[in-house]
Chains A and B, each alone.
With several copies, the nearest count.
Chain A
Amino acid sequence: MRKVIIGNHALSYGAMLSRAQVIAAYPITPQTEVIELLSEMCANGELDAKFIKVESEHSAMTACVGASATGVRTFTATSAQGLALMHEVLHWAVGARTPVVMGNINRAMAPPWTIWTEQTDSLSQRDTGWMQIYCQNNQEVLDSVIQAYKVAEQVKLPAMVILAAFVLSHTSETVEMPEQEKVDEFLPPYELEYKIDPDDPHAFGGLTGPDGYFELRYIIQKAIEDAIPKWEEVGEEFGKLFGRSYGLVETYKIEDAKELIISSATVASTARSAIDYLREKGKKVGLLRIRVFRPFPAEKVKSLLSAIDKAIVIDRNISFGASGIFYQEVKAACYNEKNKPPIFGVITGLGGRDVGKKDIIDIYEYVMKQDKVESDIIWKGVRV
């Protein structure tokens, strides 16, 4: 069945279809519709979940972590300041190995106060161990929630499904709704080896000295590395059932491409139309959209870049004192490769400044004129 829904409701339906059992969440623009709809669903009985209407995002995440450790499926959603307030608990969810799934609406960080989109909020969480999926449309948002549970529960790590403020969160789009039975088939109930259980008492997360901590971190890294093939497998399995496949990355017109535009989320989506335009003009340019950012699909990116002459990463985010974050990560991943192109890094669209097809064409044309990378940041659209 097709529905026209906003990105926020795509998250809510994703959680509902995944049969989330405990929800704990706190409102923040531009996320509120996610929890408003879930509140309705719980009140109506459409969704059989405990909804804890907590007093802060910090409590939302701790409640999810606690509930998850008892062996139930949990959901929350937030954005920007709310996500930042959870930061300590994000680390906690990873160390506690609780596969919480969270929606995050990418909004720029204050101050100054702002509610428009930028990816710095979620990318600032890149070192917490959360898996991160950047979505390009509402269909992908909904589908990714379901897949996120599947991967997260297999590797016992939490996952964040990410969408742009307003550009997706408040934009109604055509979405094919998965049927509940099929989702149930795809996503079996959540099972845990070690869980909080009075019949089998364990202490979780107790003091660990230098004699054990290192190994536990190693295990986490191995788990998130395992998730790399999992995201591909699960994305394909999803495709078989629902007709829409997903992977770590998505490519467009790269077969014969000499140049590559690399981006994520809705900027990558818009970039497609720019590619179409440039292809029409005879340019051999393709698109690489990074969908799964953590774990970082390094092998995939390396192999896709090996036959490219020039690559451009477009970031809607910034790590102050460094550069765009996708740019940094792509370069780091490919550094030791033999065959690799020069990579240019562009920052644009911070704080919700619109990024249109024309902007991307401009970026491409600008970079094509450059012989070498002069600076780690090429600014696009800022009124210097």
Chain B
Amino acid sequence: MVEIRLHGRGGQGTVVAAKILADAMSKIGKYVQAFPEYGVERRGAPVKAFIRIDDDIIYIKSQIYEPDNLVILEPALIGTIDLIYGLKEGGWIIVNTNKDPAEMKFDGNYRIATIPATKIALKHHLGSKAAPIVNTAILGGVIKILELCDLDTLVEAVREGVPIKEDANVAATKEAFESTKGGR
């Protein structure tokens, strides 16, 4: 079982990202669970989402306390709240940033990858400068780093999972897949 936690901001599509990733996993025959932090989402406020992926029916219904990997959609959150609590040693931290993995500093023994998802999203006109929608962009990088599925499967899930701008989202996903740094 793989467990992943995502961090973003209300209105940014964090929960949708988790859902699309789950859809992609389902397409390759996995059983999945994807859920938001159970709470009261407010536009602008920090939010979390979670994914479980397994080969069998997933019976466990509790929260994820020790994720294997972390995805940070909103880099501005770094430093304002604790993001890495519970992350398993050696787990991946995948951050939306233009910086190099080496520039990112997190206390602990983790692997770090970066994706310039905001840049990509804006390039493809996903959201506004003040509120870019980065979820589809970042997923391209996530599946590459975590080796979860092939790009085509993800693209199919993106097409089904986004409400508007299908092509732009797909393009962003693909571009992110290519430009992700830090993969093995």
A–B contact via C-beta, under 8 angstroms: yes
Give residues in A with beta carbon < 8 Å to B.
2-4, 115-116, 136-137, 164-168, 170-174, 207, 209-210, 266-267, 269-270, 272-273, 352, 354-357, 359
Q: Does B85 contact A (CB under 8 A)?
A: no
Question: How many interface residues does B have (CB within 8 Å)?
Answer: 23
Residue of B nearest to A271 (CB): B59
A165 touches B23 (CB 8 A): no
Residue-wise, chain B 32-54 has the 8 Å CB interface mask toward A (1 for contact) of 11111011100000000000000
**With A and B bound together, what is the CA distance between A183 and B59 in angstroms?**
26
Given B36, B40, B58, B62, which contacts A173 in the complex, CB threshold below 8 Å? B58
A-B contact pairs, 23 of them (CB 8 A): A2-B26, A4-B19, A4-B32, A115-B38, A136-B61, A137-B59, A166-B35, A167-B61, A171-B33, A171-B34, A171-B35, A172-B32, A172-B33, A172-B35, A173-B58, A174-B30, A174-B31, A174-B32, A174-B57, A266-B61, A270-B59, A270-B62, A354-B62
Residues of chain B within 8 A (CB-CB) of A352 are 38
A357 touches B34 (CB 8 A): no
Residues of chain A within 8 A (CB-CB) of B57 are 137, 174
Residues of chain A within 8 A (CB-CB) of B31 are 173-174
A340 CB, nearest partner CB in chain B, Å: 28
Residues of chain B within 8 A (CB-CB) of A166 are 35-36, 38
A273 touches B60 (CB 8 A): yes
A269 touches B60 (CB 8 A): yes
**With A and B bound together, what is the CA distance between A81 and B30 in angstroms?**
37
Knowing A171-B33, A173-B32 are in contact, say whether A270-B38 is a contact too (CB < 8 A). no
Residues of chain A within 8 A (CB-CB) of B38 are 115-116, 165-167, 170, 210, 352
Q: Does B63 contact A (CB under 8 A)?
A: yes
A172 touches B39 (CB 8 A): no
Knowing A115-B40, A172-B19 are in contact, say whether A355-B34 is a contact too (CB < 8 A). no
Residues of chain A within 8 A (CB-CB) of B61 are 136-137, 164, 167-168, 171, 266-267, 269-270
A186 CB, nearest partner CB in chain B, Å: 23
Q: Does B22 contact A (CB under 8 A)?
A: yes
B87 CB, nearest partner CB in chain A, Å: 17
**With A and B bound together, what is the CA distance between A359 and B61 in angstroms?**
12
**With A and B bound together, what is the CA distance between A372 and B162 in angstroms?**
57
Residues of chain A within 8 A (CB-CB) of B33 are 171-173
